[in-house]
């Protein structure tokens, strides 16, 4: 194989939601005013009832502000270009970085399409992860940093480019531990097999 490509993902920049901020501030003020009025007018003879009321009021306000809503599974961003690995170097979109011009490579690839994820602590996303939270950081010898997110279709996808990764290892761009982490090798037999290839 001459080269292998992953799709580059460009995350959407977070937008300031002034409407949501105003809603939270108004909710906080409403809870404060209501609790103060009820406290001053001695509406509740028993303090326990007052605290129960405030707890229910705070829960209602949190619900109104969407804190218990199931998060959206919509993709926030778009795909733009390819991240391409080869024996000679790495291409990011149309920019090629030869091995001899790179100082280091950092690959964080623990996410993959369909990976089981819990959202908001309790909701399961039925389709799993989008597989786009993977990041590669290239540092060039002239101190440029290039960072891109990319789509990984399966946890073992990087095993397809093992020969390229070994080439980067031989060029001192990746360590043995990096290779084990990137290819998600768990068993000693697989790690020993890799070590033989590195000799």
At 101, is the pLDDT very low, low, confident or very high (cuts 50, 70, 90)? very high
Q: According to the model, what pLDDT value does residue 26 have?
A: 79
| pTM of the full structure | 0.71
Q: How far apart are CA 91 and CA 96, in angstroms?
A: 4
Residue 167 confidence (pLDDT) above 60 = yes
Q: According to the model, what pLDDT value does residue 165 have?
A: 96
pLDDT in tens, 111-163: 999 888 765 555 566 778 889 999 999 999 999 999 999 999 999 999 999 99
Which is higher by pLDDT, 12 or 17?
A: 12
Q: How far apart are CA 86 and CA 99, in angstroms?
A: 9
- Calculate mean pLDDT across residues 90-99: 96
CA distances to 69, 119, 150, 159 from 154, in Å:
29, 20, 12, 10
DSSP 10: E
- Ordered DSSP codes for 106-146: EEE----TT---EETTTEE-TT---S--EEEEEEETTS-EE
Tokens of 46: 């028993």
Q: How many residues does the chain have?
A: 199
Q: How far apart are CA 94 and CA 108, in angstroms?
A: 22
Q: According to the model, what pLDDT value does residue 120 have?
A: 55
Q: How far apart are CA 183 and CA 170, in angstroms?
A: 16
Which is higher by pLDDT, 22 or 121?
A: 22
Ramachandran sector of residue 176 (left: φ over 0; alpha: ψ -120 to 50; beta: rest):
alpha
Q: According to the model, what pLDDT value does residue 123 have?
A: 58
CATH code assigned to 3-10+73-198: 2.30.29.30
Angle subtended by helix axes 188-198 and 162-170, to nearest 10: 60
CB of 147 closer than 8 Å to CB of 137: yes
Q: How far apart are CA 9 and CA 134, in angstroms?
A: 9
- Reduced to 3 states (helix: H, G, I; strand: E, B; else coil), residue 9 is strand
At 12, is the pLDDT very low, low, confident or very high (cuts 50, 70, 90)? confident
Q: How far apart are CA 40 and CA 195, in angstroms?
A: 74
Q: According to the model, what pLDDT value does residue 117 have?
A: 73
pLDDT in tens, 29-84: 877 777 777 777 777 777 787 778 778 878 887 777 776 666 566 788 999 999 99
Annotated domain spans of the chain:
3-10+73-198, 18-64
């Amino acid at each position: 194989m001459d080269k292998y490509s992953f799709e580059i993902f460009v995350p959407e920049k977070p937008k300031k939601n002034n409407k949501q901020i105003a809603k939270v501030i108004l909710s906080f003020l409403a809870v404060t005013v209501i609790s103060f009025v009820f406290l001053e007018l001695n509406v509740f003879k028993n303090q326990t009832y007052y605290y129960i009321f405030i707890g229910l009021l705070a829960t209602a306000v949190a619900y109104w502000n969407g804190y218990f809503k199931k998060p959206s599974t919509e993709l926030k961003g778009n795909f733009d270009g390819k991240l391409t690995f080869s024996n000679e170097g790495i291409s990011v979109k149309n920019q090629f970085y030869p091995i001899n011009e790179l100082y280091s490579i950092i690959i964080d690839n623990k996410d993959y399409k369909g990976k089981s994820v819990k959202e908001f602590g309790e909701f399961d996303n039925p389709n799993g992860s989008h597989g786009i939270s993977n990041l590669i950081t290239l540092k060039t010898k002239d101190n440029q940093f290039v960072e891109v997110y990319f789509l990984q279709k399966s946890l073992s996808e990087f095993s397809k480019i093992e020969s390229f990764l070994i080439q980067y290892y031989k060029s001192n761009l990746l360590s043995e531990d990096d290779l084990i982490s990137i290819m998600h090798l768990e068993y000693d037999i697989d790690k020993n097999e890799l070590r033989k290839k590195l000799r």
